[in-house]
Amino acid sequence: MTTPDAPALPLRPELADEVPYGAPQLDVPVRLNVNENPYAPSDDVVATIAEHVAHAARGLNRYPDRDFDALRDDLAQYLAVESGVHLHRSQLWAANGSNEVMLHLLQAFGGPGRTAVSFAPTYSMYPEYARDTHTRWVTGRRAEDFTIDTAEAVGLVETERPSVILLASPNNPTGTALDLTTIRAVLDAAARIPAVVVVDEAYAEFRRAGTPSALELLDRYPHLAVTRTMSKAFAAAGLRLGYLAASTELVDALRVVRLPYHLSAVTQATARAALSHRDSLLAQVADLRAGRDDLVGWLRAQRVDGRPLQVADSDANFVLFGTFDDRHAVWQGLLDRGVLIRETGPEGWLRVSVGTPGETQAFKDALTDVIGEK
Ligand code: PMP
C-alpha cells in the first residue's frame, strides 16, 4: 500500500504508462485466442515426461547443464527430420520460449544507439524486446495481402541501417509465409550493414506443402537466425521451450548474454521427453493443417452486410478474418456464446486459432449466430 510519505519508485519513464503484455486468460468452454495446440499430451507422452522429470529431480541439488548439450543434439536431430537441414549442436540455442530467445538476440545485437526493424502488422511482442533493450524500433508496412514487398523492405533496411531485422514467417497475426526470394534479398542487404536477420518460424510446422523453411539458407548466411518453438506444433506451450538455429558464431554471442543456468533441469528433461514423441505429436499437426484449410474455406463462404468475409491465406494454426465495422461487438458476441478468440491485427479484423473439430464447429455456430444478428 502506498503511504503519503513513501518515496516514488524510480521507474524508467518510458515504462510509466505500459501494461503487462498478454491476452485475457478467461475460463470459457472454447479457447481459440492464443494459437495454442488444442490437443493435450497423450498418456504416453505424459508418462515419458514424468519418468524424465523424476530422473532430473534426483539431481536438483545441482545446477543444470548450462549448455544443455543433450537437448541441443535432440533439437538438431528433430530439424534434420522436419526440414532436411543438418546442423551441429553448436548451431542450436534454446531458452524459456522463443520470446526469451528473441530477447537474447536483442540483448546481443540491439542496444542503445541501435535500431531493430520489422514489418507490420506483425507479432506484438517485438516492440517490447526493443523497448526492454533500449533499441530504437522502426516498422515498415506489409502489403494489402500481408506479404512484404521485397524492394520496399530492402529500401527500408538501407535507409534505417538496423542491426536486427525481425521477419515472422508465418507471420502472426496474419498467417502469411514469406518466400525465400524476399528473405534472401533482405539477408543480402543486411550483410552490407551488417545486421542480423531473425526469421521467426514459431508456426513453421503448419506451413502448406511447398512453402520452404528459412533453415535452408543457414549454410550461406552466418547472420541469419531462425527461431522455432515447442509451444505450437509440439503442443507444449506450458513447457516454455523456444529455440534457434544459426551459425556457431551467432549462437556464441547469445551465450554471453544469457543468465547462467537459464534453462532448468526440469525444462530440459521435459523437452527431451516431448521430442522423443516427435512422430505422434506431429501427427496432430497434419490434422490441424487440414482443419485450418477447411476453416479458411468456410469463412470465405460467409457474408456480412452483403459482402463476403475477407480471409488471409494462412500457413499457421490460426486464421485472420474480417472486416467488421465493430469487431469488438463480434468478439464479445462470440465470448457470450462461450467462444474466446482474439481481437488483434489491423482495424476490423479478428483472429481465431484452429481448435479440435468440435471447437471449430462451436466457433462456426457462434459466428453464424452473431453475424445473423446483424
Ligand atoms: N513468435 C510468434 C510469431 C508468436 O506468435 C509467438 C507466440 N504467440 C512467439 C513467437 C512466442 O512463442 P513462445 O515464447 O511460446 O515460444
Q: Please identify, among 276, 306, 330, the residue that sits at the C-terminal boundary of a domain.
A: 276
Evaluate whether residue 31 is within a structural domain: yes
229 phi and psi angles, rounded to 5 deg: -150, 155
Does ligand 1 come within 6 angstroms of the Cβ of 33? no
Location of C-alpha cell 539458407: 217
How far, in Å, CA of 283 to CA of 279, rounded? 6
Are 143 and 161 contained in the same domain? yes
Across the range 294-317, mean pLDDT stands at: 95
How far, in Å, CA of 368 to CA of 356, rounded? 18
Location of C-alpha cell 534426483: 58
Evaluate whether residue 10 is within a structural domain: no
Are 183 and 269 contained in the same domain? yes
Q: What distance in angstroms lies between residue 339's CA and the mean position of ligand 1's atoms?
A: 22
pTM: 0.96
pLDDT on residue 23: 76
Are 306 and 242 contained in the same domain? no
Across the range 203-213, mean pLDDT stands at: 94
Does ligand 1 come within 6 angstroms of the Cβ of 35? yes
Are 243 and 288 contained in the same domain? no
167-181, 242-256, 278-292, range with the lowest pLDDT:
278-292
pLDDT on residue 290: 97
Helices marked H in 58-123? 69-83, 97-109
Location of C-alpha cell 514489418: 119
Q: Is the per-residue pLDDT at 329 higher than 90?
A: yes
Q: Is 294 exposed, middle or buried (0-12, 13-18, 19+ CB in 10 A)?
A: middle
Q: Please identify, among 276, 302, 327, the residue that sits at the C-terminal boundary of a domain.
A: 276
What pLDDT digit, counting tens, does each position of 44-86 carry?
999 999 999 999 999 999 999 999 999 999 999 999 999 999 9
How far, in Å, CA of 77 to CA of 317, rounded? 24
How far, in Å, CA of 363 to CA of 338, rounded? 9
Q: Which atom in ligand 1 lies closest to the alpha carbon of residue 242?
A: 16
pLDDT on residue 22: 80
148-152, 171-175, 306-310, 349-353, range with the lowest pLDDT:
306-310
Q: Looking at residue 151, which CATH number applies to its domain? A: 3.40.640.10
For 355-368, b/e burial (b = at least 16 CB within 10 A) is bbeebbebbbebbe
Q: Is the per-residue pLDDT at 295 higher than 90?
A: yes
Q: Is the per-residue pLDDT at 274 higher than 80?
A: yes
Evaluate whether residue 6 is within a structural domain: no
Question: Per-residue confidence at 4, pLDDT binned at 50, 70, 90?
Answer: low
What's the domain range around 364? 22-42+280-373
Evaluate whether residue 191 is within a structural domain: yes
Q: Is the per-residue pLDDT at 3 higher than 70?
A: no
Are 61 and 175 contained in the same domain? yes
pLDDT on residue 227: 98
Alpha carbon distances (Å) from 100 to 44, 45, 210, 227, 236: 29, 25, 30, 11, 16
Is the bond preceding residue 121 a cis peptide, omega within 30 degrees?
yes
Are 257 and 365 contained in the same domain? no
Alpha carbon distances (Å) from 28 to 160, 334, 357, 362, 370: 44, 11, 17, 12, 17
Q: Is the per-residue pLDDT at 1 higher than 60?
A: no
Does ligand 1 come within 6 angstroms of the Cβ of 122? no
How far, in Å, CA of 125 to CA of 369, rounded? 33
Q: What distance in angstroms lies between residue 3's CA and the mean position of ligand 1's atoms?
A: 40
Evaluate whether residue 3 is within a structural domain: no
| Complex ipTM | 0.99
Structural domain count of the chain? 2
